[in-house]
Amino acid sequence: MLDAEELIESIIRAFMFLAGILGNNLLAIRSLPRQKSGIRTNEVLFINLAVSNLITNCLVDLPDTMADFAGQWFLGETFCGFFRSFADLSETSSIYTTFFISAFWHQKLVGSLKHGGAPVRLDSLCLVACLLAGSWTVAVVFSIPHFFFVKVEGGNESHEDCLDVFPNAITRQTYEIFYLTLANALPLAGIVFASIQIVITLLKNQRRIRGHNSDTTKEMVKDENKGLTGSSSPLNTNTDSKVEAPANLSRPSQMPAKPSPSSGTQVRAAKSVVAVASVFLVCWLTHLFLRITNSIHTSSIVVEVASYVAASYTCIIPYIFLHGVKKLSFSCKR
């Protein structure tokens, strides 16, 4: 029987699993192109992210939730190898895809605000396909060792857990160093850099718009004052005032044009990327710290907490993207 603490943990895990399944399926479905020839970079990236997260939800979170409710690992040592491999496979792919999304929307934002919406490098589907293929290759390479170096270990009261068991401490530490550097630290640094650049670009654009609107308002006030001064002069005739009126009516045409809907969509999408990056930073810095701690001193509790942190990320970000990008574009196309 589960005690109260274990029951609460199992319920939380089950809720995260259901939220992740729902959110990532929605993200994948909403990212499917409506026209066969109209697939775009952001749709490919969102589908890839959803698939990566669904691997975590279905092949990692679900077995882990079942094991929590059962009170022990009951799926056998063979599936234990798949379980540990799928965990790192989906985790690595999800991290790299988030990095590609951040880079893509940074390029789109800069292109929209500075270069009139000119095409960017990541608009090329061939380039994106190569990047995704490379990320999946890295993910597979780092997931393979987990399939061989696993063991179902029993603890107190016949409680069994699926754990990584490397041949020795040097092998474990070597693997962890390469994995944490290539599959965590590097894409994490790229996400942070792209997010900072997005924030700087948004702030500069907002400051520029405010300054431009302020200058335009001052010019309009001056023009209106001149018009009032001219009309109050006793030397002006009725004919002059009639001639002046059309000129004053033409002033509003000099107001700056409103931002295009596509520009507004890209700005909102960029803001959603920054929001995702913030969640990513909190989750994966914690996850990275726990992985480093576990590489120094192996602990089943640390592994469990790290898996919860990873699961929380995969069940939160789909809803941020749905709100910031796909939901907005869906409402605009109606």
Lowest model confidence (mean pLDDT) among 71-80, 199-208, 232-241: 232-241
Domain 4-222+259-332 annotated CATH 1.20.1260.120: no
Lowest model confidence (mean pLDDT) among 1-10, 23-32, 136-145, 253-262: 253-262
Residue 120 predicted with pLDDT over 90: no
Which of 2, 6, 13 minimizes the C-alpha distance to 61?
A: 13
Tokens 């970079």 found at: 41
E runs forming strands in the chain:
150-154, 160-164
Averaged over 299-313, what is the pLDDT? 68
What is the average pLDDT value for the chain, to the nearest integer? Answer: 75
Could you state, in order of their start, the residue ranges of all structural domains in the chain?
4-222+259-332
Q: Which pair of structure tokens corresponds to residue 22?
A: 């729902």
Q: What is the pLDDT of residues 254-299, one digit of tens each?
A: 444 444 445 566 666 667 777 777 777 777 677 667 767 766 666 6
pTM score, whole prediction = 0.75
* Separation in Å, CA 7 to CA 10, 65, 69: 5, 11, 7
CA distance 251 to 223: 9
CA distance 132 to 138: 10
Residue 107 predicted with pLDDT over 90: no
Lowest model confidence (mean pLDDT) among 178-187, 252-261, 299-308: 252-261
